[in-house]
Amino acid sequence: MIKSNFSISENDIIDKYLKKLNFNKVESFNFKNDGAFFKTKSNKVIVVTNDSINENIDFFRNDSPESLAQKIVTYNLSDLSSMGANPYSYTLSLSLPTNIGKIWIKNFTKKLFYLQKKYNFFLLGGDIGKSDQINISANFYGYIQKNQILKRNSSKIGDSIWVSGYIGQSHIGLLLKQKKIFINKKFKNYFINKYLFPQPCMFGSNIVSFANSCIDISDGFFGDLSKLLNKNKGVDLYYSNLPFSKYTKSLISKKIVSPKVLLNGGDDYQLIFTSSQKNDAKIINIAKKNKIKITKVGKIINQYGIFFRGSKIKILNRSFQYHF
């Protein structure tokens, strides 16, 4: 409808920067068709995730293209992992302002290339359009053995509740970026880096045979934990077990941040999963073998809510990501 006025043409973006991301896979038709396809694998189904990043919601205008590449990949890989799937391919829908230039595209696609090699997936196709704001939407695809898909709502009473990695570091980074808290420069960069470059925990596919339920933490530990529950199920929380890094603990002890804010924060991209208590030793072993830090943080009980020493914990209603 309106003429292109990117400082680099869309065809150049596709030919020079995006084409190398298809890894020459036949499924992409080398970007020369109206769509792509999936190979059928016997006894496996394909799972699909759909996650977007929007300016001022998921990132700031001046954040680097590398950070945006990291986020669109991590948001989606984390969803795949929480379902127990390994990544295979993805589509990418880019809406970009016309002042986006060659360097931006180059750095954005270079980071994508790095992450595709690291996690072993390729670009199937997509589209590019113009927009006042940066908006990036992706669908990621992974294969999984039939009937092994991990779900949110299938935890069982008595299940141990596990969480991977550390909680709250990305949220501290966000508070620092927003100048809502202030700390010394060395720590500051550490946390802001956690916000700008969140890493997915690709542990889901290792526990499909043992976990009863799984979710990734995007909206905050409490918010996402509560999505594992229903009106007949709740959580008895081992509060002192909650995994905060030593840097985070130091900020907590100085009262710069509160645990409550961090547990309601978001963008951790760690996994919360539940598994029968009798699997505890097995789960610990699998985690050790895969060099994944996990912590047992509670158990599923037959009363709705999240409880600590018998008192119900109030969850702030602050969901930012609206999946359906």
Q: Which residue, chain included where needed, has tokens 């009798």?
A: 278
Mark residues 63-92: x for contact with a second copy by CB under 8 A, - for none.
---------------xxx-xx-x-----xx
Binding positions for a second copy, 207-236, rule CB under 8 A: 215-216
- 241 touches a second copy (CB under 8 A): no
Using the minimum distance from each CB to a second copy, give the nearer residue, 12 or 239. 12
In sequence order, the 6+-apart residues with CB closer than 8 A to the CB of 145 are 43, 44, 208
Using the minimum distance from each CB to a second copy, give the nearer residue, 144 or 167. 144
Using CB under 8 A, which of 44, 110, 282, 293 touches a second copy? 44
Using CB under 8 A, which of 20, 23, 25, 50 touches a second copy? 50
Residue 64 has φ and ψ, to the nearest 5°, of -70, 155
Residue 151 Cβ vs a second copy, minimum distance, rounded to whole Å: 6
Q: Mind spelling out the 3-state secondary structure of 184-219?
A: CHHHHHHHHHHHHCCCCCCCHHHCCCCEEEEEECCC
- 257 touches a second copy (CB under 8 A): no
How many beta carbons lie within 10 A of that of residue 52, not counting itself? 17
The stretch near a second copy (CB under 8 A) out of 6-14, 103-111, 281-289, 299-307 is: 6-14
Question: How far apart are alpha carbons 218 and 232 in whole angstroms?
Answer: 24
Task: Give burial (CB, 10 Å; 0-12/13-18/19+) of 323.
Answer: exposed
Residue 181 Cβ vs a second copy, minimum distance, rounded to whole Å: 15
Question: How far apart are alpha carbons 37 and 16 in whole angstroms?
Answer: 23
Binding positions for a second copy, 166-205, rule CB under 8 A: 174
- 19 touches a second copy (CB under 8 A): yes
Using the minimum distance from each CB to a second copy, give the nearer residue, 183 or 271. 271
Residue 81 Cβ vs a second copy, minimum distance, rounded to whole Å: 9
The stretch near a second copy (CB under 8 A) out of 52-60, 233-241, 245-253, 294-302 is: 52-60
- 109 touches a second copy (CB under 8 A): no
The stretch near a second copy (CB under 8 A) out of 61-69, 132-140, 156-164, 284-292 is: 132-140
The DSSP 8-state label assigned to residue 174 in this structure reads H
Residue 153 Cβ vs a second copy, minimum distance, rounded to whole Å: 6
Total residues at interface with a second copy (CB under 8 A): 75
Q: Could you tell me the CA-to-CA distances from 254 to 89, 192, 194, 258 in Å, in that order?
A: 45, 19, 20, 9
Q: Amino acid identity of 118?
A: K
∠ CA 234-237-241, nearest 5°, is 155
Binding positions for a second copy, 258-317, rule CB under 8 A: none
Of 274, 275, 276, 257, give the one whose Cα is nearest residue 265.
257
- 32 touches a second copy (CB under 8 A): yes
How many beta carbons lie within 10 A of that of residue 40, not counting itself? 9
